Structure 1
């Protein structure tokens, strides 16, 4: 399986990763043979890249932190939550908590895996996948920072609902109209939740140096849950920008940008932990090496995110006749020069 720009996808190729609709239902399943109509539809709904089942890379491990079942459940629940609020109803705190329990179970079971955001976004599912990814990243950070189950649950619920105040928020957000205030107001009276859940929504746009919003808090005045959610939120927004005019970054570019905000916008210690759990060069992306060879990333080293294993295909003309794998952890003078997809 390798990541391919939607413009390079050809009819007859096999989809390598399931695409979800906005309510968690399966839009296209892994293994489906793509047609001209399917490719055209994917472009129309805002898909820019897809994973293709390539025989040359079929053995590549693509283990996700979350199972497809859990993803469907979380996306569906976020869709239901937003719809209930949009209809003027209260949302089910119990149902959200149950979804978070499923997510945490997967995260704890797969806590040795690295973060790679590989689910395909559409215009309809983007805000729900964003909420799920921020929750997933924040939860794994919490695990690595030694949080107990109560803390993990508070963090995960807050991270999942961090943008709940964006529902019907005005385009220009100022003062009490900022979505952080609106989210806090929505969550603070939910007796089933700790008040810290509301403060995640309230503080996730605050900055260590006081330049954040809505209250300009600094340093230790910002709760650790919010500091964690801020990193997760910013990373996901860099990989999948919510503004169409903002270019999407590759994971290695996003990580460089995040590190540039250490101790200004973002907490340094949280960033240190984040860099230990993120896949800078995820499996399936094509890269160019400093020896001018090109290949596809096929393996990772936890703790050495910049030194993956790269598979280089040996060709005679247009035909593949074999391959070799370069473990960059064993080749200290060899580097990834650029990402090709």
Structure 2
């Protein structure tokens, strides 16, 4: 598979990863042959990057920390929860805990797998995919920090519901007041759920606080911010840098990681950022890159301990265009070769 920009997709190519709606329903299944209408529709609903099948990379598989089935179940539960809140109804925390238990089980089983945010995002599913991504990354950070399972479960629920205060319409026009509203509102919604730990409510309340005391809503210094909220702040920042256009240009994973390193110690907790950088794929499998050797290739493998040094497959044609010269460059072994840029 290759991971390419929607503008590079051509009619007749085959979709490499299933695309889901906000409710978890299948919009387009893996393996479908793309038509002009499908490509146009994907652009219209906000899809910017997709996976396509490629004969030269048919053996390349994206190893996820959680299965599509489990992620779809979590998104469906999120949709039901948010719809209940919009309708002014109570929501079922038992169902949320059930979906989290399945997700947590898979994350613990795949704790050595680097996180790749490979689910295709649309305007319809953006809020749910964001919540799921923040949840998965937060748990993987927690695993790196050796948190016990009961704390990982609390962290997972808090991360999944961190933006629950955004579900109801915000009427104040001030950007700062809006942010304060969604953190306060999320806290108010969650603290009244006796089945949930109060710490979960504090994740919604504090995930926009900063280590230097310049965050919202209460400008709390770092020592007063709960560990769960600090972890979720790191995961939330990364996902927003990759996908939130309101922050400006969307960053590529390696750019976002560099940016977050610069934020460590001021906006974000430095130790948590270090743990985060050990869990995320800096150059996602399927991405096209340019090497310092002037060769171009596709990322086909990862190294857990060296996320910035993946395996690259380089494909060249000879002068007669009859045969292909295919080789793999393992950057963990070829230490003088570097990735110069990601090609989109």
Q: Is TM (by shorter chain) over 0.5? A: yes
Structure 1 contact 176–182 (Cα < 8 Å) conserved:
no
Structure 2 contact 311–330 (Cα < 8 Å) conserved:
yes
Question: Counterparts in 2 of 1:94-113, with a 5 A limit?
Answer: 94-113=94-113
Unaligned runs of 5+ in 1: none
Aligned partner of 2:9 in structure 1 is 9
Question: Counterparts in 2 of 1:147-166, with a 5 A limit?
Answer: 147-166=147-166
Determine the C-alpha separation between the residues in 2 that align with 1:231 and 1:189. 26
Query: Normalising by the residue count of structure 1, what TM-score does the alignment of the two structures yield?
Result: 0.97
- Judging changes above 3 Å, is the alpha-carbon distance between structure 1 residues 176 and 295 closer, same or farther for their aligned structure 2 residues? closer
Q: Could you say what secondary structure the match of 2:314 adopts? A: strand
Q: Which runs of 4+ in 1 moved over 3 A?
A: 317-320
Kindly indicate whether residue 313 of structure 2 is the aligned counterpart of residue 303 of structure 1.
Answer: no
Aligned partner of 2:25 in structure 1 is 25
Kindly indicate whether residue 98 of structure 2 is the aligned counterpart of residue 61 of structure 1.
Answer: no
- Judging changes above 3 Å, is the alpha-carbon distance between structure 1 residues 320 and 128 closer, same or farther for their aligned structure 2 residues? farther
Question: Counterparts in 2 of 1:304-319, with a 5 A limit?
Answer: 304-316=306-318
Question: Counterparts in 2 of 1:1-341, with a 5 A limit?
Answer: 1-167=1-167, 168-170=169-171, 171-172=173-174, 173-174=176-177, 178-243=181-246, 246-316=248-318, 321-341=324-344
Q: Could you say what secondary structure the match of 1:326 adopts? A: strand
Determine the C-alpha separation between the residues in 2 that align with 1:42 and 1:314. 31
Determine the C-alpha separation between the residues in 2 that align with 1:303 and 1:228. 20
Offset at residue 74 of structure 1 (A)? 0.9
Offset at residue 255 of structure 1 (A)? 0.1
- Judging changes above 3 Å, is the alpha-carbon distance between structure 1 residues 319 and 82 closer, same or farther for their aligned structure 2 residues? farther
Residues 237-285 of structure 1, C-alpha deviation per residue, up to 9 Å, x if partnerless? 1111152x72111100000010000110000110110011111011100
Query: Normalising by the residue count of structure 2, what TM-score does the alignment of the two structures yield?
Result: 0.96
Offset at residue 322 of structure 1 (A)? 3.2
Q: Could you say what secondary structure the match of 2:60 adopts? A: coil
Q: Could you say what secondary structure the match of 1:279 adopts? A: coil
Structure 1 contact 70–103 (Cα < 8 Å) conserved:
yes
Offset at residue 106 of structure 1 (A)? 1.1
Determine the C-alpha separation between the residues in 2 that align with 1:247 and 1:70. 31
Determine the C-alpha separation between the residues in 2 that align with 1:278 and 1:70. 20
Offset at residue 230 of structure 1 (A)? 0.2
Offset at residue 164 of structure 1 (A)? 0.2
Offset at residue 219 of structure 1 (A)? 1.5
Larger displacement relative to structure 2 (186-195 or 310-319): 310-319
Unaligned runs of 5+ in 2: none
